[in-house]
Amino acid sequence: MQDTIAAVATGPVRAAVGILRLSGPDAIRAAEAVFRAERGERLSQCPDRRLVLGWLLDREGRRIDQVLATVSRAPHSYTGEDTAELQCHGSPAVLALGLEALFAQGVRQAGPGEFTRRAFLNGKLDLMQAEAVADLIDAETGAAARCAGGQLSGVLSRRIQGIYDALVDLSAHFHAVLDYPEEDIDPFGASTLEQALAGAERDLAALLDTYRRGKLLVGGIPCAIVGRPNAGKSSLLNALLGYERAIVTDIPGTTRDTVEEKCTLGGRLLRLIDTAGIRESADAVERLGVERSRRALEGAELALVLCDGRDFQPEDLALVRRAREKVPQVLLVWTKRDLWDAPPALPAEELPPAVAVSSRTGAGLTELEAAIAACFPTDEAQDRGELLTNARQAEAAGRALELVRSARAGLAAGITPDALLVDVEGAMEALGELTGRNLREDVTERIFARFCVGK
């Protein structure tokens, strides 16, 4: 990392402000070469993090924009290197000219996530904090942003570090006893070892248990909208989205394939899946659509089972039962509320929580949002950012848990403590992958490839 990088750190559209960001040993010099302060200051002589008003120059030295400039010197910067920022007006043309002038100073274009990668490599962030930066940028709900912000502050890293440190203590004691037999070091007793491994297993299991909630928080809750033909599925999808995404007709079987869209309801990000009406059909194309509907139902975390309040049939009850068998959370949605007075009276034990709605008038949609929110309550761990949020993290935590369980099983089987050390240190290595303590270069490349340029 001996070179200096630069990028536009804001979006590629017209905006009020656009930022040119630099990092590396030549960052301050290069920024100074394309900036002229109103009062004649030189950026190299300005204190850190003080805004200086001046002019951005193109590669020929002509003024192109009035800007604010600031510098931060190593190691007290985001990347841990010398950095500079030029806060311009957000014209893509101005930013392009400014970037061109910086390139003429020997600076190169930054790659995706390269600023954050340098922060990671320079010890300013661990890997989970770096991933949280990307999650924060991509957050589509307030809850997802709060979770990512907590991870960026290091809450989850500290939780993992506590488990790691407990295993380090075990490993260090093992090595001390084995390597220095002449010293008066207390040997590990089986009960002490079992207690330590049981604590690590408990903490790892609780950590891994957060992944399902974290995955749904970041990626969205798969929500299948199912029902018989003409139950109002596409109408509800359109009403929830606020625009006509799906075709709606009075002809049964209009929807032949699944239609997927994201929306936020009750503060939860949902991946809504409008499905074909579920019924027996002689039409080959419709049968394919019905089969896709069944697969969507089985892969959902939430099912909205739609039933026309005027025409409840045995097939509706069968679909409710199937949904309750296959899906963790189910809501019965009585549709076309504006066309009837009261839903059918059914045994309470047969039905999940129910809401009556009218997609045409919007009646009941607020109640539906509240019911969805109740299915996925928030908790302090989520708000603090203590959830695993991606498959890489879950795989490493799961591997650490299996190795700790293997060590406990070996202990119960009478294996000597020195032999258990292999599993204990394997668990430590897996936890090190979570924070970036132990990580292959190809994995690092994949992680930072998802970042936007300029961050």
255 marked among binding-site residues: yes
251 marked among binding-site residues: yes
215 marked among binding-site residues: no
276 marked among binding-site residues: yes
Three-state SS for 263?
strand
- Specify whether the CB–CB gap between 236 and 310 falls below 8 A: no
230 marked among binding-site residues: yes
231 marked among binding-site residues: yes
Rounded CA-CA distance 296/278 in Å is 12
426 C-beta neighbours (distance < 10 Å), count? 18
233 marked among binding-site residues: yes
Rounded CA-CA distance 443/395 in Å is 13
- Rounded alpha-carbon distances, angstroms, from residue 59 to 30, 37, 102, 338: 11, 17, 8, 67
Which amino acid is it at 27? A
Site of tokens 């970037």: 99
235 marked among binding-site residues: yes
In what helix (H) or strand (E) does residue 354 lie, and over which residues does it extend? Answer: strand 354-356
Per DSSP, 337 falls in state G
- Of 120, 108, 123, nearest to 26 by C-alpha is 108
266 marked among binding-site residues: no
Rounded CA-CA distance 199/339 in Å is 59
- Of 213, 111, 19, nearest to 450 by C-alpha is 111
Rounded CA-CA distance 217/141 in Å is 8
444 marked among binding-site residues: no
232 marked among binding-site residues: yes
In what helix (H) or strand (E) does residue 178 lie, and over which residues does it extend? Answer: helix 155-179
65 marked among binding-site residues: no
234 marked among binding-site residues: yes
252 marked among binding-site residues: yes
Count CA within 13 A, CB hemisphere, residue 60: 3
192 marked among binding-site residues: no
Rounded CA-CA distance 181/174 in Å is 11
| Annotated binding residues for (6S)-5-formyl-5,6,7,8-tetrahydrofolate | 21, 85, 124, 455
Q: Which residues are annotated as a binding site for Mg(2+)?
A: 234, 255
Annotated binding site for K(+): 230, 249, 251, 254
Binding residues: 21, 85, 124, 230-235, 249-255, 274-277, 455
Binding residue positions for GTP: 230-235, 249-255, 274-277
